[in-house]
Amino acid sequence: MATLRDIKKRIKAVQNTQKITKAMKMVSAAKLRKVQNRMLDLRPYADKMHDVLMSLARGADRESHPLLAFRPRKTVEVVVVTSDRGLCGAFNTNILKAAQKSIDGYTKEGFQVSISVVGKKARDYFKRRGVSTRNAWTGISGNVSFTNAQEIANDVKENFINETIDEVVVVYNAFKSMVAQTVTVAQLLPLAPVEEGKEAPASESAAADFIYEPSMEAIFDRLIPRNVDIQIYRALLESSAAEEAARMSAMENATKSCSEMVGKLTLQFNKARQASITGELMDIVGGVEALKG
């Protein structure tokens, strides 16, 4: 049975843990506000840029730019975006499960799979399983910059143009709300075609009648590579915001669990103390009775 001193030490340890989890929640909240503002500012721009390029590419020759080219798929690149740190609930577990499912699916279809990772958690996950990764970027989580996105995008674009890889998909957690993240698997390259049987929006129906100024080649040369940079930057920001939200939620739950544990330990301490006092009183009463005898 635990002594009063042992229980008191446990209470102190849990209270110290509670202080840490509460502080981590506050830090994550401050980080979330910053990255969430950047993410929300970028979303409309990234969406509209992708839509415009989809519209332009629909009426253009797929061979007009190397990043638009469709060719028989042999190698599919899967870019997995996770965090560098843990203590964020099921954030990394969910994204790694989705990534593994995609990888297994491509493998069953007979494609070669190339893997690039962003974040230590993804790097360590594949390393433990003996799976080689083509490239890995760490130290980005919590400190996302457009330079990071350009570095990743340039590597992906170069390998796609050189035909080392034939398709690129990015797997990341998109920020949905403070308590929910959505695992997203998005095709990055080549620019996704319209699904068969699906009509294009009315605003895009006259894509073939566009007049390009200065020229279609000049526009594609400038915008398509830029779009890859922007979409990767968006994925990094979405993932960073989702990570901080997940960590906030996890630390809040941990703080509540600590409070409940302190309550249970305090009750246990009081019961043990009461039992100890009762035992001492019984000893005193027994001694008095012995003296009377």
Per-position b or e across 132-151, b if 16+ CB within 10 A of its CB: ebbbbbeebbbebebebbbb
Helix (H, G, I), strand (E, B) or coil at 275: helix
Question: How many C-beta neighbours within 10 Å does residue 74 have?
Answer: 13
Question: How many C-beta neighbours within 10 Å does residue 233 have?
Answer: 23
Residue with tokens 């939620």: 249
* 88 catalytic residue (yes or no): yes
What does residue 211 show for φ and ψ, rounded to 5 degrees? -105, 120
| CA 219 – CA 197 distance, rounded (Å) | 29
Tokens of 15: 């209270």
Question: How many C-beta neighbours within 10 Å does residue 206 have?
Answer: 11
Active-site option among 88, 149, 219, 242: 88
Tokens of 35: 């990255």
- 23 contact partners, CB below 8 Å, separation of at least 6: none
Q: At what angle do helices 216-292 and 91-108 cross, to 10 degrees?
A: 130
Helix (H, G, I), strand (E, B) or coil at 109: coil
| CA 234 – CA 241 distance, rounded (Å) | 11
- 189 contact partners, CB below 8 Å, separation of at least 6: 67, 156, 157, 160, 167, 168, 228
Question: Which residues does the annotation mark as catalytic?
Answer: 88
